[in-house]
């Protein structure tokens, strides 16, 4: 205990705190850099959608959407319409002064009437302002995707063609567009890219010429934010030319169910945005220069690590409350900086991974500070150990006035109560009836209970050597050296017999302290005098059975064999009684020894034991013309056991089978290996063709003195101890024995033992 108290310290050294800080800073930098490179997309997308909906910028007034809506379908008929209708629309828009006409309709299949394609192509060529879409068709197998565009007769006079391709995020929402799409080794421009480059002012911004592969779309609002007119209204001249002149006109399907619709950040409910409305939003963002550029991995890493190291610097020098304020402040700075970059610089820098990382780092650092509390508790525990030795504990250094120190002081008072409880437990331990000693690592007794004081009254236990103290009892045949007991984990119990007839069971337990260092021993001396006397009486009873009862019976048999004057019938009856008495004595002795005598376990091949048992009962079986057949056992079946006891067990089972089996019958000895929940087992079953047992008889077959009389069987007059011996012997080997029987069919006894040498 002195060593434990001397190792107790209160505060971790400054170098240890700095090392913990550096380790946390390095690990946090690596983890947060990884999350900055591959941020959690779903959470980032939620924040981006919130900022987009809160943007609130005005829509481009030069964009006009012509809807192929329910009204147009009602007035012009079911879709698809004749391509001459589209030719008329292009001519009318051209006459009204439209700046550009962007179709979101794929004319990739020739019309049934070639004249219609020619009419539409002529209108497109006359206008010179029509832009037509293409689409990407996925290739089969490993073939690259291919571009499918309008029929040549329609596309020949177009001002431009481009891909009408939609990019989906992982959550299925459309937030970005690609100015160019790759198909195989080639790049094809997006339709809106083509329109923007053809219609933008010379000094206007052109985000499509940057290095970014995708751009985030700055949706100005829902589809209704742009000016919409019906296709049939324009075609019938109901729309003033001033509404069309100078505008970029998008023509596409908006009637529900007519064309595809896509979820976007500004359509969070069931409503979705059609393809033509999506193209109008993209062109609006390109023209206004408001397209949002995502920050690359390097920029995200710099942003994250800057905030992280500001936090780490604060954690190293600031107190806990200031660090809490610093953590919250840095999280707010990250959110504010991201929002400012979004709204002012049109740059998307997600702060989510950074904010989560800062909170986790602050939490982990807080956990490390709990080590101070742990050190304080160690100091208080050392104080209690010092009090137990009668010394006054030293005051803690460096904790005066600190909240944590005051809490630790309160914990110290609670630990003092625990110390009282420990003393109470020790008092209960030392009030045990057995003599109990506690010794230190040097083998000197430091505590003894009342029973030990009474036992060693000739020499006071306190301070004495364990070896000297026990030697004062003068145990017969034992002498303990001064270095006893050895500092080992296991000590075999020792039975000590004294000259005055008393006997004690000596048990020694080696103890270690909380740090694993040797602490000493606990020695218990249990008085087994009464038990020893009982065992002695048992041995005397067995001796009586084995000698004093056997000798008269043997003499009776010898006298009958040499006295011719005894009538044969009387001689046979006397001989039967004598043999039964001998069998009863032998069975009882075998049973008693099987129950208490230690078995000497060694690897034994149960197949060989079965062969020996069969050979031993062969004379009896041959006399009654009973065949013994062995099944299995060709390979070794190893178990741990006492060979002689196991052999006697199988001989008893085979002997019963021979006694109860009818003449000319067969006995089957089956050996096998079986799996079980506790591991492989070896089974030996002995099956006969005797009269069998009822269910009630089978349940009591292994009880001592249990006999089952069967008319005409050789078992009549048995002692009823053979199966009891089998049960006791197999139990001492850690196995099981069972009986399965049916009246009139026969019985089968199965012995199961753990397999040895597996695994």
Domain endpoint, select from 266, 289, 312: 289
CB 378 within 8 A of CB 515: no
Q: What distance in Å separates the CA atoms of residue 632 and residue 670, rounded to the nearest whole number?
A: 6
Do residues 638 and 497 both lie within one domain? no
pLDDT of amino acid 288:
83
CB 226 within 8 A of CB 280: yes
DSSP single-letter state for residue 207:
G
> Can you list the alpha helix ranges (DSSP code H) found in 544-605?
550-562, 568-596
pLDDT of amino acid 93:
92
pLDDT of amino acid 385:
56
CB 606 within 8 A of CB 671: yes
Number of domains the chain is built from = 6
Residue 10 lies in a domain: no
Do residues 523 and 533 both lie within one domain? no
What tokens appear for 529 in the block?
Answer: 């005098």
CATH of the domain at 477: 3.30.450.20
Residue 341 lies in a domain: yes
Do residues 95 and 198 both lie within one domain? yes
Residue 4 lies in a domain: no
Do residues 255 and 275 both lie within one domain? yes
Q: What distance in Å separates the CA atoms of residue 90 and residue 71, rounded to the nearest whole number?
A: 19
Cα radius of gyration (the chain): 50
Question: Exposure of 93 by Cβ count < 10 A (0-12 exposed, 13-18 middle, 19+ buried)?
Answer: buried
Angle at 159 between CA 156 and CA 165, to 5 degrees: 95
pLDDT of amino acid 484:
85
Domain endpoint, select from 361, 391, 411: 361
Residue 7 lies in a domain: no
User: What does the DSSP assignment read for 446-513?
Assistant: EEE-HHHHHHTTTS--TT-BHHHHHHTT--TT----TTPSPS-S----EEEE-TTS-EEEEEEEEEE-
pLDDT of amino acid 438:
86
Do residues 687 and 699 both lie within one domain? yes
Do residues 560 and 641 both lie within one domain? no
> Can you list the alpha helix ranges (DSSP code H) found in 240-319?
275-288, 297-317
Q: What distance in Å separates the CA atoms of residue 376 and residue 409, rounded to the nearest whole number?
A: 9
Give me the residues paired with residue 63 across strands. Answer: 248
Residue 131 lies in a domain: yes
Packing angle, helices 352-388 and 403-430, rounded to 10: 50
Residue 5 lies in a domain: no
Do residues 277 and 391 both lie within one domain? no
Domain endpoint, select from 468, 503, 527: 527
Residue 116 lies in a domain: yes
Do residues 276 and 128 both lie within one domain? yes
Do residues 439 and 423 both lie within one domain? no
Buried b (16+ CB within 10 A) or exposed e, 359-396: eebbeebeeeeeebeebbeebbbbbbbbeeeeeeeeeb
Residue 22 lies in a domain: yes
Do residues 301 and 348 both lie within one domain? yes
pLDDT of amino acid 441:
83
Do residues 571 and 502 both lie within one domain? no
Give me the residues paired with residue 216 across strands. Answer: 176, 292
Domain range for 593: 528-597
pLDDT of amino acid 504:
87
Do residues 611 and 540 both lie within one domain? no
What tokens appear for 254 in the block?
Answer: 């908006």
Q: What distance in Å separates the CA atoms of residue 633 and residue 654, rounded to the nearest whole number?
A: 17
Regions of the chain with pLDDT less than 50: 1-13, 388, 390-394, 396-403, 712-717
């Amino acid at each position: 205990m002195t060593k434990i108290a001397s190792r107790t310290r209160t505060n971790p050294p400054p170098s240890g705190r700095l090392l913990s800080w550096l380790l946390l800073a390095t690990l946090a930098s690596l983890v947060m850099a990884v999350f900055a490179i591959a941020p959690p997309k779903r959470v980032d997308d939620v924040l981006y959608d919130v900022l987009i909906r809160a943007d609130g910028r005005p829509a481009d007034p030069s964009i006009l959407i012509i809807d192929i809506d329910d009204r147009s379908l009602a007035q012009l008929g079911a879709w698809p319409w004749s391509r001459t209708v589209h030719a008329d629309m292009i001519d009318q828009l051209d006459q009204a002064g439209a700046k550009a006409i962007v179709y979101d309709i794929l004319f990739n299949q020739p019309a049934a009437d070639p004249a219609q394609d020619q009419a539409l192509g002529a209108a497109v060529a006359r206008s010179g302002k029509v832009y037509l879409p293409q689409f990407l068709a996925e290739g089969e197998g490993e073939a690259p995707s291919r571009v499918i565009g309008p029929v040549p007769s329609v596309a020949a006079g177009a001002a431009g063609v481009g891909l009408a391709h939609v990019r989906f995020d992982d959550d299925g929402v459309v937030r970005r567009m690609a100015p160019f799409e790759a198909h195989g080794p080639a790049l094809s421009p997006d339709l809106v890219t083509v329109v923007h480059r053809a219609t933008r002012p010379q000094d206007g911004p052109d985000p499509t010429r940057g290095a970014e592969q995708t751009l985030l779309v700055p949706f100005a609002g829902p589809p209704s934010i742009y000016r919409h007119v019906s296709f049939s209204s324009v075609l019938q001249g109901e729309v003033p030319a001033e509404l069309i002149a100078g505008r970029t006109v998008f023509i596409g399907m908006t009637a529900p169910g007519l064309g595809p619709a896509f979820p976007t950040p500004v359509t969070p409910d069931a409503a979705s945005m059609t393809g033509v409305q999506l193209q109008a939003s993209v062109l609006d963002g390109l023209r206004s220069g408001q397209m949002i550029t995502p920050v690359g991995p390097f920029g995200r890493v710099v942003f994250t690590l800057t905030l992280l190291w500001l936090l780490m610097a604060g954690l190293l020098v600031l107190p806990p409350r200031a660090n809490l304020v610093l953590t919250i402040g840095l999280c707010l700075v990250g959110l504010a900086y991201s929002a400012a970059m979004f709204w002012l610089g049109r740059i998307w820098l997600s702060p989510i991974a950074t904010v989560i990382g800062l909170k986790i780092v602050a939490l982990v650092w807080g956990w490390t500070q709990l080590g101070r509390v742990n050190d304080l508790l160690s100091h208080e525990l050392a104080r209690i150990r010092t009090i137990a030795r009668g010394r006054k504990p030293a005051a803690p250094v460096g904790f005066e006035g600190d909240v944590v120190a005051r809490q630790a002081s309160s914990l110290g008072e609670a630990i003092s109560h625990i110390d009282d409880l420990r003393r109470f437990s020790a008092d209960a331990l030392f009030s045990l009836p057995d003599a109990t000693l506690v010794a230190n690592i040097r083998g000197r007794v430091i505590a003894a209970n009342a029973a030990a004081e009474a036992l060693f009254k000739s020499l006071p236990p306190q301070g004495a050597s364990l070896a000297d103290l026990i030697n004062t009892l003068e145990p017969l045949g034992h002498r303990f050296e001064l270095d006893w007991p050895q500092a080992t984990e296991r000590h075999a119990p020792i039975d000590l017999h004294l000259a005055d007839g008393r006997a004690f069971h000596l048990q020694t337990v080696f103890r270690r302290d909380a740090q694993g260092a040797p602490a000493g021993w606990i020695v218990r001396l249990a008085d087994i005098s009464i038990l020893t006397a009982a065992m002695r009486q048992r041995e005397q009873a067995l001796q009586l059975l084995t000698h004093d009862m056997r000798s008269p019976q043997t003499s009776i048999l010898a006298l009958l064999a040499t006295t011719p004057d005894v009538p044969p019938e009387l001689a046979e009856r006397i001989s039967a009684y004598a043999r039964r008495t001998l069998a009863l004595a032998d069975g009882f002795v075998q049973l008693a020894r099987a129950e208490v005598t230690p078995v000497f376990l060694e690897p034994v091949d149960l197949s060989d034991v079965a062969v020996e048992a069969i050979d031993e009962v062969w004379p009896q079986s041959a006399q009654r013309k009973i065949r013994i057949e062995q099944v299995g056992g060709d390979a070794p079946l190893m178990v741990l056991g006492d060979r002689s006891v196991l052999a006697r067990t199988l001989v008893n089972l085979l002997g019963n089978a021979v006694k109860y089996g009818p003449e000319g019958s067969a006995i089957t000895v089956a050996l096998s290996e079986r799996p079980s929940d506790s591991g492989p087992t070896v089974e030996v079953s002995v099956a006969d063709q005797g009269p069998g047992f009822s269910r009630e008889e089978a349940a009591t077959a292994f009880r001592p003195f249990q006999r089952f009389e069967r008319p005409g069987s050789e078992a009549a007059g048995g002692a009823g101890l053979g199966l009891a011996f089998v049960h006791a012997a197999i139990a001492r080997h850690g196995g099981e024995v069972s009986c399965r029987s049916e009246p009139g069919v026969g019985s089968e006894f199965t012995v199961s033992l753990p397999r040895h040498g597996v695994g």
